[in-house]
Structure 1
Amino acid sequence: MTADKAKKPKKAAKAEKPQEPEVVPVPRLQEKYVKEILPGLAEKFGRANRMSLPRLEKIVVNMGVGKAIGEKKYLEEAVEALKQISGQKPTITLSRKSIANFKLREGMAIGCKVTLRGKRMYEFLDRLVSLALPRVRDFRGLSPNAFDGRGNFNLGLTELLVFPELNPDKFSFTQGMNITLVTSAESDDEARELLKELGMPLRAA
């Protein structure tokens, strides 16, 4: 072969097959809300506009860790526990003022919280209703008086380990949490109907 003879062109590399986007399944409760609960609420309240119907907007889970003042590991355990049960990294909450009697200084880390929306919100609520609340000792339903007058519902759990995903051997102390369900409801009565349809075990008023 002569030096000036043109070289054979290289074969073009095969184009890589584009990866198909991962399909994330819609949470069970979210699907139920769209397909079953919304039509039912529209009929009950006599509204054709679905945007005017009550919906769950977010869930705020807050843990105050008083023991964190004297021992940092308790806050670290709380953060890890909240991350496991919510599927989201918590933010640290800080004290707003100093209290000398409790050795508390302004800006000191005293707890953690998460704000859940969308799919994580529905997944958390499903686990709360289906798995955690039935494991609460002597549970007889949630108080119907825990609404705040603006369509939001508050509940407290004294024991984290009602969530089955937590391994009791990994945590050295008993810790509770406060859970706030924030809705778009115009009244507590509307919010009550929404939460009952979502499976919240509310006692009769």
Structure 2
Amino acid sequence: MNSNKMKKPQIEKVVVNMGIGSGGEELMHAEEIIEKLTNQQPIRTKAKKNVPTFGIRKGEPIGCKTTLRGKKARKFLKKALEVKENRIPQKSIDNHGNFSFGIDDHTGFKGIEYDPNVGIYGLDVTVTMERPGYRVKKRSKSNNPIGPEHALTPKDTAQYLENEFDVKVVEKDEQ
């Protein structure tokens, strides 16, 4: 592995999202679950357009999400990957080295018990990866693209997950 510390991948953020499709009591349960899993208050996501077949109107709350950074992100990601049995499919990693995966049942997390009054909810986890120096593409003044030799690849992310989290990146979704 390369010893250059500027080439070492790192987690920029982890976004935990639950799309419920409606507001009300179900959305409140989802918010409670995300808060319990992440120890962070979620925000509500709103519909961007009308979908009459599902009874969704633009601006109506339909889900919730929270963004984790630093140690919180790393700690949550470790727990979420354990629920996935430390295996993610190769197709989950995009061309920029970011990856996403879904968890079908929130009760798969340690310490979370099934509550018949709440039910079972699924959630999506999206991880944005970067290398030191990626700030140049985000700064408002004089932003520049990341050069191809410094950009993250799916292979870099797979190797990082193997080394840091003992995760096996599999070719097909062998669940």
Question: Which bracket does the TM-score occupy, shorter chain normalised?
Answer: 0.7 to 0.9
Q: What is the aligned residue count?
A: 151
Choose from 145, 153, 168 the match for 1:187. Answer: 153
Distance in 1, matches of 2:20 and 2:166, equals: 27
More strand by share: 2
Where does residue 123 of structure 1 map in the other structure? 75
Alignment of 1:50-69 (within 5 A): 50-66=5-21, 68-69=22-23
SS in 2 for 1:142: strand
Letter in 1 for 2:93: F
Instruction: State the identity %.
Output: 27
SS in 1 for 2:128: strand
Q: Which structure has the larger Rg?
A: 1
Q: Deviations over 1:114-160 (max 9, x none)?
A: 11001111111222234x334xxxxx832122111111011011111
Choose from 67, 70, 84 the match for 1:133. Answer: 84
- Give, in angstroms, the shift of residue 201 of structure 1: 2.7
Structural RMSD (CA):
1.9
Q: Would you say the 8 A contact 1:77–1:171 is kept in 2?
A: no
Letter in 2 for 1:56: I
Q: Would you say the 8 A contact 1:65–1:74 is kept in 2?
A: yes
Structure with larger RCO (C-alpha < 8 A, sep 6+): 2
Alignment of 1:92-103 (within 5 A): 92-103=44-55
Letter in 2 for 1:173: G
- Give, in angstroms, the shift of residue 164 of structure 1: 2.4
TM-score (norm 1): 0.68
Choose from 170, 176, 182 the match for 2:122. Answer: 176
Where does residue 39 of structure 1 map in the other structure? none
Q: Deviations over 1:78-119 (max 9, x none)?
A: 000000001110010000001111111000100000110011
The alignment status of 1:202 with 2:168, answered yes or no, reads yes
> What are the ranges of 5 or more consecutive residues in structure 2 without an aligned counterpart?
132-151
The alignment status of 1:160 with 2:106, answered yes or no, reads yes
- Give, in angstroms, the shift of residue 170 of structure 1: 6.3
Distance in 1, matches of 2:100 and 2:46, equals: 21
Q: Would you say the 8 A contact 2:9–2:156 is kept in 1?
A: yes
Alignment of 1:12-161 (within 5 A): 44-45=1-2, 47-48=3-4, 50-66=5-21, 68-69=22-23, 72-130=24-82, 132-134=83-85, 141-161=87-107
Distance in 2, matches of 1:166 and 1:204, equals: 27
